[in-house]
Amino acid sequence: MKAVILVLCASLIWVQAAQIKSRRNGGRIVGGEVARPGQFRFAAAIYIVTADSTYFCAGSFIMMQWILTAGQCVDGALLFNIRLGNTKLSTDDPNMLLLATETYFLHPDYDPLTLRNDIGLIKLRMQVFFTDYIWPASVLKNGHIEDGASVLTVGWGQTSDEVAGLSDDLRYANLVTLSHEECLAAFGTQVNEDMVCVAGNYNEGTCRGDLGSPLVEYVGPATFAVGVSSFISSNGCESTDPSGYTRTRPYFEWIMNTTRNN
């Protein structure tokens, strides 16, 4: 286990996925609501096998053969077992597609210490055809997430600090983006402009192991994956501290080049 904790200010600590791998559970959406079948058709549940552990991440189905997730979730992986189309983890959902692959692409400038460029892609062995329960999110080529924008995140996992283990249900929470200055105030100067912090009502947000979960913005009928869950505060999942994401827009060209050429 490559546990690394970076103290970024007096009250908050940036926590990497490497700390979480030995827990063998996922993160969680604190608060929020239970998703309906087919409500978030881009959500991917990812079970990851490495040389010395297994753990859970989430991701976004973005193309017929590709899953977008955090760099932390693919770094050192040997095998991915991925579920698309389901909202419950424990049942054989007839709408679920179960896929296995070992192929991934980690951003070449990913830094596991600072979490810069914390983004990765998983290539499926086969193309996935769209259904009422499986549909891709898009990635923005241009534009910038505005401060105070209404966004949403989804994920599986714990529902309190005291209760361990994944949630059987996919949950979602409505969040608001914070300014870069607010993110800096919370986590310190290692936050860069390719990252964005979000907060919800009181303590809604992501937590340990909820890596790779998509941050979603709706523009009319279109669904855009504008962020990937990357870092959190050490003050507990039920604290009011913000959650941190890697913005996807700065990586549009890398995503497009990787998916076109592989």
| Residue 2 belongs to a domain | no
Domain count along the chain: 1
Which domain range does residue 63 map to? Answer: 14-262
DSSP-assigned beta bridge partners for residue 45: 58, 83
Q: pTM of the full predicted structure? A: 0.87
Rounded Cα distance between 229 and 244, Å, is 6
Compare 210 and 246 and report the one with higher pLDDT.
Answer: 246
Residue 111's pLDDT is 97
Residue 12's pLDDT is 37
Q: Which two three-digit tokens encode residue 30?
A: 């604190």
Q: Are 183 and 195 in contact (CB under 8 A)?
A: yes
Q: Give the model confidence (pLDDT) of 41-76 as tens digits.
A: 999 999 999 999 999 999 999 999 999 999 999 999
Q: Which two three-digit tokens encode residue 220?
A: 């009319």
| Residue 3 belongs to a domain | no
| Residue 69 belongs to a domain | yes
User: Mean of the pLDDT values across residues 152-168?
Assistant: 73
Residue 2's pLDDT is 27
User: Mean of the pLDDT values across residues 150-166?
Assistant: 75
Q: Which residues contact 10 (CB under 8 A, 6 or more apart)?
A: none
| Residue 101 belongs to a domain | yes
Residue 240's pLDDT is 76
Q: Which residue type, as a one-letter code, is found at position 60? A: S
| Residue 139 belongs to a domain | yes
Residue 238's pLDDT is 67
| Residue 9 belongs to a domain | no
| Residue 114 belongs to a domain | yes
Local structure of residue 213 (DSSP, 8 states): P
Which CATH number characterizes residue 27's domain?
2.40.10.10
Q: Which residues contact 256 (CB under 8 A, 6 or more apart)?
A: none
Q: Are 191 and 183 in contact (CB under 8 A)?
A: yes
Residue 22's pLDDT is 28
Residue 143's pLDDT is 74
Q: Give the model confidence (pLDDT) of 78-91 as tens digits.
A: 999 999 999 998 88
Rounded Cα distance between 25 and 182, Å, is 30
Q: Give the model confidence (pLDDT) of 103-149 as tens digits.
A: 999 999 999 999 999 999 999 999 999 999 999 999 988 877 899 99
Residue 239's pLDDT is 72
| Residue 189 belongs to a domain | yes
Q: Give the model confidence (pLDDT) of 2-45 as tens digits.
A: 222 222 332 233 444 333 332 223 333 555 689 999 999 999 99
Q: Give the model confidence (pLDDT) of 185-219 as tens digits.
A: 989 998 999 999 998 876 676 776 578 999 999 98
CB atoms within 10 A of CB 132: 10
Percent of the chain as helix, strand, coil, to the nearest 5:
10, 35, 55
Can you say how many angstroms the Cα of residue 156 is from the centroid of all Cα atoms in its chain?
A: 11
User: Mean of the pLDDT values across residues 89-101?
Assistant: 91
Rounded Cα distance between 56 and 82, Å, is 10
